[in-house]
Amino acid sequence: MCLGVPGKVVEVNPAAQMAVIETMGVKRQVGIQLVADVRPGDYVMVHAGYAIEKINTGLALETIGLWEDIVNNENP
C-alpha cells in the first residue's frame, strides 16, 4: 500500500529538479523529476520524497483535511 501526501509548492528550483512543498505547516524538499511544469501555488501528491502528480486544489485541501483528522484523533 502506498500513501501519498498532498503539498502546496512554495518554491521551485528547475535546475536541480527540486521543489519546496508545505503540508500542515511542515516544509520539505521533494524531487519533481516525475511531474512536468511544476510552479509555486500548484498542489502535488508526494510519495517517498518525490512529487508523483499534480492535483487540483479541491482534492488537495480535502485530502489534507482527512490527514489532519487522522493526526488529531490520534493525539487528543
pLDDT surpasses 80 at 75: no
How confident is the model over 44-53, as pLDDT tens digits?
A: 999 999 999 9
5-74: CATH number:
2.30.30.140
Total-model pTM: 0.86
Instruction: Give 68's pLDDT tier (boundaries 50, 70, 90).
Output: confident
Measured distance CA(62)–CA(33) in Å, rounded: 25
Q: Is 17 left (phi over 0), alpha (psi -120 to 50) or beta?
A: left
C-alpha grid cell for residue 11? 518554491
